Amino acid sequence: MKARALLFAIVAVGFACPVLAGCESASGSAIRTGPLRLPPNLGPISLYATEIPLGARELGIVEAHAYGEEGTVENLLPIVAQKTAQLGGNAVVIDSVHADFHIVDRPVIETYTYPCGWRTCVGTRVYPAAEEIMIVIMQGRALSVTERPHVERP
């Protein structure tokens, strides 16, 4: 099943990579949206799921995505954190996690035999087959938080 998911991922991204090289479909991107430019952050990244903390400044939009079985929160969250750090952020607000489904064509190569005279001949045919793949996407906003609010515990 994992080999099949990997094949879907290779077809979906439009390039082939050797299966033995450990190709992964998970990747991400970061886009600056404001004038604040910070050097990459080497420290920890705080995760916020509901609201922007006080004193935070938005640096940009971060996104991670993966195909098939690789599309899990465990695989996508480190990519979102890495992209946040690249923008210089020390916090990220996750705005959405959703799945998209796409139909992609992949080539099917089939080898067959047929009688030709007194011997057996071998032929090959290639035809397209439509496959549905799932793409899981995590989107958020990279932040720079200067004041960390102190929360009193009851």
pTM, full prediction: 0.67
Provide the residue ranges of all domains of the chain, joining segments of one domain with +.
2-145
- Using alpha carbons, list the distances in angstroms from residue 131 to 22, 48, 60, 134: 22, 36, 34, 10
Instruction: Encode the chain (154 residues) as per-residue pLDDT tens digits.
Output: 333 333 333 333 433 333 323 457 899 999 999 888 888 999 999 998 877 888 889 999 999 999 988 999 999 999 999 999 999 999 999 999 999 999 989 899 999 999 998 999 999 999 999 999 999 999 999 999 986 555 555 5
Q: How far apart are CA 78 and CA 75, in angstroms?
A: 6
Tokens describing residue 146: 């200067």
Rg (CA), the chain: 23
Per-residue pLDDT at 12:
38
- Report the DSSP beta bridge partners of residue 140: 62, 94
